[in-house]
Amino acid sequence: MHVISALRDRELPDDVELWDGGTASFDLLDTLAGRRQVIIIDAVRTGSEPGTIFRFTPEDISARREQVTSLHQVGLLEALTVAEHLLDSAPQEVIILGIEPKEIDWGLELSPEVEAAVPKVIELVMEELDPFERKENPRLEER
């Protein structure tokens, strides 16, 4: 939600919509269905230093489920599978930007490490939105 809030202050392409999905992955089926590109920002536990940023896809999560665990990954993967197989309208491209949290607890405050990573995450989102700026990124690449 902090990244989405900051992105609302940026000049975005007209076809970009910002959604705070929280933990309600299945409630987002209509939002996910038929999209060209979906960028998801989430906390990811990998054992790395807090604030470390990763870029990966749902296929990476499926292949590395024992290594990468997101707060919402199971619900997200299931929602994407339902969109693909039952609705026949999965997004064409799904990119997940994960940030290693310092701790996962109740509340909306960011740790200093994660707060320091937010501007870089915003920069990565903007690169993903601009096909001319896109770089070939290895999956699960540490940023």
**Rounded distance between C-alpha atoms, residue 59 and residue 40, angstroms:** 14
Q: Mean per-residue pLDDT for 50-62? A: 85
> Of residues 50 and 66, which shows the higher confidence score?
50
Q: Mean per-residue pLDDT for 109-135? A: 84
- Counting DSSP H helices and E strands in the chain, the numbers are 5, 5
Nearest to 71 by CA among 81, 61, 80, 63: 61
Q: Which CATH number fits domain 2-135: 1.20.120.420, 3.40.50.1450, 3.40.47.10, 3.40.50.300?
A: 3.40.50.1450
The pLDDT-based confidence of 92 (bands split at 50, 70, 90) is confident
- For 136, half-sphere exposure in the C-beta direction (CA atoms, 13 angstrom radius) is 0
pTM above 0.75, yes or no: no
The pLDDT-based confidence of 87 (bands split at 50, 70, 90) is low
**Rounded distance between C-alpha atoms, residue 121 and residue 69, angstroms:** 19
